[in-house]
Amino acid sequence: IPGAGLLEVRNLEVVYDDVMLVLRGVSLVVRPGSVVALLGANGAGKTTLLRALSGLLDVHDGKITKGSVTLEGEPVHHLSPAQIVRRGISQVMEGRRILAELTVEENLRVGGHTERVSHLDRVYDLFPLLRERRSNVAGYLSGGEQQMLAVGRALMAGPRYLLLDEPSLGLAPALVTQIRDLIVEINRQGTTVLLVEQNATMALSIADHGYVMETGKIVMDRPAGELLADEDIKEFYLGTV
């Protein structure tokens, strides 16, 4: 089947509040089994692209005005967030939107939609710390633990595609390494990953392919190793050396 397994964004335009053009014809391909890094400065439109993929534009008064998102050749950009999750695409919320008053395990069960013991076990195997704290109130977890809980919640739906929005934001270096290793393990277990990151070096070190966005457009599209090796690109587009 042509395009089997592909998540494909084609010439996507997104407008906020009917007037503000934020994505100006974005095209991107996520191959099954891969880790793809989406990089770029604040305001480039990375979060907006993730919202378009997960069906969450509506909530922010955003609209797709042109182009398409297809999964395995089928358009998905007109589907609701719940339908998109059922197709196998889960997003880890920006800002770690966990439910602070619920326990760790309640948070995970809410994320699962359906009660799937196997998914809960998988999450606890990936994050032994969450198993230990399963009965603790989530609001009292540290920032890093809350981030892990947010990733765990997204995994409860058993996604084939995981969309991550800046998982390393605000974390200490040791925790960034931990999150990085977890993403590698999640991918190794068969989940395809689209990773939005400010930490370009971290993201490119685990990605197969990298895209760089600037003011609503993809300005660079290269194998991650090439982007990582090119000091000029890193300095000019990513603000890191």
Q: Considering the rule CB under 6 A, would residue 144 count as an interface residue with ligand ATP?
A: no
Reduce the DSSP state of residue 223 to 3 states and report it: strand
Please report whether residue 26 would count as binding ligand ATP according to CB under 6 A. no
29 is a contact residue toward ligand ATP (CB under 6 A): no
**Coil, helix or strand for 215?**
coil
Beta carbons within 8 Å of 168's beta carbon, 6+ residues apart: 175, 176, 179, 180, 197, 198, 199, 202
44 touching ligand ATP, by CB under 6 A: yes
How many CA atoms within 13 Å lie on the side-chain side of 206?
Answer: 25
The pair phi, psi for residue 205, each rounded to 5°, is -70, -20
Among 46, 77, 109, 119, binds ligand ATP (CB under 6 A): 46
Shortest approach of ligand ATP to residue 46 CB, angstroms?
4
45 touching ligand ATP, by CB under 6 A: yes
Which positions from 192 through 231 interact with ligand ATP, judged by CB under 6 A?
none
Beta bridge partners of 213: 40, 218
Question: Should residue 42 be labelled a site residue for ligand ATP when binding is judged by CB under 6 A?
Answer: yes
**Selected binder of ligand ATP within 1, 2, 17, 188 (CB under 6 A):** 17
- For residue 28, give the nearest of 203, 229, 213, 239 by alpha carbon: 213
**Position 27, amino acid:** S
Residue from 7, 9, 28, 40 binding ligand ATP (CB under 6 A) = 40
Q: Does 60 interact with ligand ATP (rule: CB under 6 A)?
A: yes
Check binding of 152 to ligand ATP (CB under 6 A): no
Give the C-alpha distances (Å, rounded to integers) separating 200 from 34, 63, 160, 204, 210. Answer: 17, 28, 24, 6, 9
Could you give the CA distance from residue 124 to residue 159 in angstroms, rounded to a whole number? 16
Among 22, 28, 203, 228, binds ligand ATP (CB under 6 A): 22
Q: Which residue lies nearer to ligand ATP by CB, 77 or 119?
A: 77
The yes or no reply on residue 20 touching ligand ATP (CB under 6 A) is: yes
State yes or no: residue 25 binds ligand ATP (CB under 6 A).
no
Q: Does residue number 16 form part of the binding site for ligand ATP (CB under 6 A)?
A: yes
Q: Is 143 in the site for ligand ATP (CB under 6 A)?
A: no
Interface size with ligand ATP, residues (CB under 6 A):
14
When asked if residue 118 is in the footprint of ligand ATP (CB under 6 A), the reply is: no
The 35-40 sheet, strands edge to edge: 89-92, 161-165, 192-196, 35-40, 209-214, 217-223
- For ligand ATP, the binding residues (CB under 6 A) are 16-17, 20, 22, 40, 42-48, 60-61
